Each structure stands twice: as C-alpha cells, then as structure tokens.
Amino acid sequence: MPEFAQRHEFKNAMNTFTHTEFTPDHRAAMDALAGSIYEHMLAEIAQARKLDAPRLRAVVDAGPALGPQAVEAKLVDNLLYRDQVYERARKRTAGGGEEPDLLYLHKYWRRSRDGIGGGDHTIAVIYGMGAVVRGRSEQPLFGSATMGGRTVASALRAAAEDDDVEAIVLRVDSPGGSYVASDTIWREVVRARKEGKPVIVSMGELAASGGYFVAVPADKIVAHPSTITGSIGVLGGKFITAEMWKKLGITFDSVQRGDHAEMWSGLEPFDPDEWAKFNGWLDRVYADFTQKVAEGRKLPLERVQELAKGRVWSGVDAKRLGLVDELGGWTTALRLAREAAGIPADADVSLREFPRARGPFEELFEERPDSSEDEGATARVDLARVVEAMRALRALEALSPLLEQLDQAGLLGEPAPQTLRAPEVRVR
C-alpha cells in the first residue's frame, strides 16, 4: 500500500501507484502540455513547409499518410530510394573535381572532435544528466545516467576557480530527484556567479523538479520549445508491504531506541505524529523551492506559487510565463554565454568540459573513495563494475558481427543519447 503526500495537486509522479486513472488536475496539466507542444509543432511545420495552418491541421487529422499522399499534401518533396538520395546529394556538393565524402552522423561527430585547437577564450561546459542523486554522477555501461550532486557541484567549483574560464554553460536533462543534491548544485551555481562567472543553463528534453531547481539561479535559462520543465513541487512517502510479506509467510522483528526510529519502515504506516512531521518536511522543501524560484527568476512569490503546485510546462509556455528566458538549443546558450562574458563576436571560443570526459574503461578502473560522500576516504577499484564490464565484453564478443553492421549503419553512435556531448571545437 502506498503512503505518499505531495505539494501540490499537480505533482503527480506518484499517481502511478495511488490512482488507476488521471485525476482532474493531472489530466488538465497533461492536456495543456500536449496542446502547447502540438500547436508549436504545427506552427513550425506550416512555416517550414509553406503550408496554410488550417490545411496542415486537416492533413494531420486525416493521417497517417502514405508516401504519395504525403507528397500531395506537401509534407515531403519526393519519394526516393537510398541510392537516389545519395546521387542527389553528390550532385549538389559536386565541385572542384573531387568526390564528396559521405559520413554517417556519428562518424562526422567523432571527426569534429579531433585535431582542433583551442580558441582565444574559454567557456566551460558541464553536464547534469539523469535523475538527481547524492554523491557521484554515474554513466553505467547499461542503464540510465545519474546527475550526482557531488560531481556537478565539484565541476562548477572547478570551472569557477579556473582563471581561463569566462562563462559556464550547464546542460541539464533531468527529471529531478534528491532535494539535498539539487540544493547542493543550486548553491554552486550561485557561488560561480558571485565569482564573476556567468552561468547559462541549456535545457534538454526534460528539466523538471530538481532539474529546474538547479537552473533557477543562472543568469539565463534556455529551453527547447518542447522541453518539459517546471514541476516546482515536492513529493515523498513509502510503501507499506506488511500484508505482502504476511502472504509469503515471511515475518520480521526488531529492537530500536527512539520513538521514531522505524519511521521509514515499510512494515507499518506513519503514526499521526510521524505523518505530521513528514508533511512538515514537505512544506519546508516546497517553501524553499518556491522562494528560490522567486529570487532567481525575479518574480513575485505569489506569482511563483500560482505557477508551481508541481505543474509541468512546455518550453513555449515556460518562456511566456517567465520561467525561462529564451527558446533554443546549444547555439543560443553559447551566444548568451559569450554575450554575458563580454567575449567579442569575432573571437574564437574553446569549449572545455568539466569534469573531463572519460572513456568507459577509465570510468571502470578509476580509483574512487569508498564513500561517495567522503573525499578523503580510502581509494579503491570498484570490482563490481569491473565484473559487470567483463560480462558485457563476453556478450559483446558473441554479438560482434551484429554490432559491426549496426556501426556501419550509423546506429551505435555515442554510448547513450543523454551522453551526446558538445565537441571541443572553436565556435564563432
């Protein structure tokens, strides 16, 4: 049995466990989000394809369209085979008597990162990808990346203390997570700005809850039109599993000191005093979150409380409501970083990643502290990760023919979508 509470009605991540369908507030928020993204998508397609918006809407409603129908509706220009597309590309790029070199995207990306020197000015790039957790960021061979409070905070400190760095771009793609870890990163963004280093946040597909929390003190926030952001709120609780264990014939017993030593046990629900304490904590976090949004975004607290309540917004709506500053991606964020640092428009800029990107084996065999919270702890090699890698390598050996074909088709690319990184190139 789930026992959860949230601040407030739109904070609905736990509804999967507590409800069998949308609540009215959940439905209203999701419907508004879908509508915002859909209307923006239609407007952009209509402009790009030079189509009348009502006509495009009718085409979408009549879809999906077969190839000839898509051509007739001007959604696409031609129906061509792969070799015909390549031939047209060659004709368009022909010149100087040289045969054009066709590259898969991932190979082009790799090549763009090699052999290019630094510029006259330096902008730091820091990644905050995945669920926000305390301790280290992790990029496992399998599974999802995490945004470690200690790793990202340390990277922000290093960039702020580096005399060569003139501005910082913090790339955030996160659904949120630990309040303590988010607050730790928030503090280092504040400190970096106090050190005179402008901080620009570039949001990815998702920058909500703790992912939005870490962004609010930045000089500027850039979101894609379809970025899911906001979710200014908090939730928490526990699952009561006593009946499940009873059905399995498994029993537990314990001894403890302190009236609330077993407050977080899943064997018993919160008692009235514990429930009051827990809700008091949620109130404290929510008040802190909304206050920091108000200060960072320079909005009245009353206005933030209207926009909060755990509700998510599209990038388009977040821009309209003042939760982000501009719509765009990397190019926009880098332009704003350059402007904030006073870097001349014609100057070469080098992007420097903090911390330095490491290969998978570097990550596996790196000596690390026994405790993710203690910088001075005894270093060790994470044997569990080494075993995981060895098992993975044995599996990959058997799959090598298939992997080679996938690589040739350009389907492997970087290890995971959330780790696609900006190349260390000079940008103007």
Does the pLDDT of residue 361 top 80, yes or no? no
Per residue in 318-346, pLDDT (tens digit) is: 999 999 999 999 889 999 999 999 998 88
- Give the best-scoring range by mean pLDDT among 12-16, 278-282, 393-397: 278-282
Handedness of CA 314, 318, 319, 325 (dihedral sign): negative
Interatomic CA distance for residues 154 and 210, integer angstroms: 18
Phi-psi region of 177 (alpha: psi -120 to 50; beta: other; left: phi over 0): left
Does the pLDDT of residue 58 top 70, yes or no? yes
167: helix, coil or strand? strand
Better-predicted residue by pLDDT, 84 or 428 = 84
Q: What is the predicted pLDDT for the residue at 386?
A: 58
Is 298 tagged catalytic?
no
Q: Please give the share of the chain, as a percent, with pLDDT higher than 90.
A: 46
Does the pLDDT of residue 195 top 60, yes or no? yes
On the question of a cis peptide bond just before residue 8, with omega within 30 degrees of 0, the verdict is: yes
Q: How far is CA 34 from CA 128, 150, 176, 286, in A?
A: 25, 35, 21, 26
Does the pLDDT of residue 360 top 60, yes or no? no
Per residue in 93-108, pLDDT (tens digit) is: 876 667 777 888 877 7
Block residue for tokens 């821009």: 319
Determine contact, residues 173/142, Cβ cutoff 8 Å: no
Block residue for tokens 């109130």: 283
Better-predicted residue by pLDDT, 420 or 29 = 29
Q: Burial level of 298, CB count in 10 A (0-12/13-18/19+)?
A: exposed
Interatomic CA distance for residues 234 and 3, integer angstroms: 15
Q: How far is CA 369 from CA 137, 156, 233, 356, in A?
A: 14, 20, 33, 18
Q: What residue spans of 19-52 are helical by DSSP H?
A: 24-49
Q: What is the predicted pLDDT for the residue at 144?
A: 81
Q: Token pair of 200, please?
A: 């620009």
Question: Out of 11, 197, 292, 319, which one is annotated catalytic?
Answer: 11
Q: If you average pLDDT over residues 157-186, what whole number do you get?
A: 94
Question: Out of 209, 231, 314, 319, which one is annotated catalytic?
Answer: 209
Per residue in 366-423, pLDDT (tens digit) is: 555 444 444 433 344 555 555 565 556 555 555 566 656 655 555 554 444 344 444 4
Closest CA to 341 of 119, 194, 122: 122
Interatomic CA distance for residues 340 and 229, integer angstroms: 24
Q: What is the predicted pLDDT for the residue at 416?
A: 41
Q: If you average pLDDT over residues 170-196, what whole number do you get?
A: 94
Q: What is the predicted pLDDT for the residue at 396?
A: 54
Is 91 tagged catalytic?
no
Q: If you average pLDDT over residues 144-173, what whole number do you get?
A: 93
Q: Please give the share of the chain, as a percent, with pLDDT higher than 70.
A: 79
CA dihedral 273, 275, 278, 282 (to 10 degrees): -130
User: Please, what is the average pLDDT of the chain?
Assistant: 82
Confidence of residue 256 (pLDDT cuts 50, 70, 90): confident
Q: What is the predicted pLDDT for the residue at 253?
A: 84
Q: If you average pLDDT over residues 63-75, what whole number do you get?
A: 91
Domains of the chain are 10-106 (no CATH), 108-231+311-427 (3.90.226.10)
Confidence of residue 142 (pLDDT cuts 50, 70, 90): low
Rounded to an integer, what is the distance from CA 159 to the centroid of its chain? Answer: 20
pTM of the complete model: 0.78
Q: How far is CA 258 from CA 239, 269, 278, 376, in A?
A: 22, 17, 16, 31
Does the pLDDT of residue 177 top 80, yes or no? yes
Non-local (6+) Cβ contacts of 348 within 8 A are 118, 119, 120, 121, 426, 428
Closest CA to 208 of 236, 173, 180: 173
